[in-house]
Amino acid sequence: MSSVVVVGSFNVDHVWRCDVLPAAGATIAGRYSSGPGGKGFNQAIAAARAGAATTFICSLGQDPGGTMARELAAADGVTVVAESSAEPTGTGGIYVDNHGRNTIVIGPGANFTLSPDFIAAQQETLAGAKIVLAQLESPLESIEATMSAARAAGVTTILNAAPANAVASIALLRQSDILTPNETEFAALLGRHVGQRMEGDDVAALDGNTLHGLCRQLLPGGTVIITLGAVGVFVSHEDEQLRGDTQPYYRVGAEAAQTVDTTGAGDAFNGALAASLAQAPQAAFNTHVRFANRFAARSTEGEGAAASMPRLTPEA
């Protein structure tokens, strides 16, 4: 039995490190490297390195990228349950500048062929989890199937509503016990579902009471964690469901870090949060948030996405 089941994407990331991000029409030189990525895979590796027995449910092409996913997951002790796709394994093209800022293009490939039927066939695995964690880089009907199977079995669900341009229905959002958008994704969700227009850059500056009210409108009954990059996180609980905390909302500042590359910081946070919740379900929620915050900060100190996940467990 796995304590964390992650459902989502795997990509082979192609990364160019450049002095500045290229403008439209520009040709510049960069230092190339490649490695594994995709939000689902990154989060699964993070959960495993944070100490949780982890299963990763995904769709892979019958190509070297698919083999790479299986081999790297195995090296981190992650069990892979993959639907075999006629499409190529997912890819990502990433530019990273000297400040660690990035621009990303995704080629979804096999990720977009993960089917609801395949998810339905994993019912036992999903029902046996302590935490089921999903993102929005897979077909939304498959993510819906994932969340409803987990919910039906009484398993705690975390939805990382990423990327921002994926349009999750309100019904899907409300199948999550814990919703974890970054500030851009939070602003997009507010625009779509709460009728509140806002720039992602303005989210962190809102006062706590206002942010809490917006979170309550977005996910009544559930917990929202907004990740705010180098500012840290904002947590908002429903009053009747504080998950062991004493306050319905609070901020946790980011940990100091020698940041070189923030790619995958949100994935680090989500994987570590799931792992911590699975390993110590009785602990107050803020202890899980603080651990995930620490884990994510460490992940920014190395290059790459999955590759930069630290080996850091909640007890450490």
Q: Which positions lie near ligand ADP, rule CB under 6 A?
A: 162, 182, 227-230, 232-233, 254-255, 257, 259, 262, 265-266, 269, 293, 296-297, 300
Residues serving a catalytic function are: 267
Cis, bond preceding 281 (omega within 30 deg of 0): no
The tokens describing 247, both together, are 């306050």
Which is closer to ligand ADP, CB of 120 or CB of 257?
257
User: C-beta of 130: minimal distance to ligand ADP in Å?
Assistant: 22
Cα(142)–Cα(40) distance, integer angstroms: 13
Helix (H), strand (E) at residue 82: strand 79-85
- 263, exposed or middle or buried, with CB in 10 Å at 0-12, 13-18, 19+? buried
Residue of minimal Cβ distance to ligand ADP: 266
Which is closer to ligand ADP, CB of 193 or CB of 251?
251
Which is closer to ligand ADP, CB of 155 or CB of 168?
168
User: C-beta of 152: minimal distance to ligand ADP in Å?
Assistant: 28
User: C-beta of 134: minimal distance to ligand ADP in Å?
Assistant: 15
Which is closer to ligand ADP, CB of 223 or CB of 300?
300
Give the DSSP letter string of 175-241. Answer: T-SEE--BHHHHHHHIIIII-----GGGTTTS-HHHHHHHHHHHSTTSEEEEE-GGGEEEEE-BTTB
User: C-beta of 84: minimal distance to ligand ADP in Å?
Assistant: 29
- Residue of 101, 107, 106 lying closest to 22 (CA atoms): 101
**Residue pair 294/230 in contact by the 8 Å Cβ criterion:** no
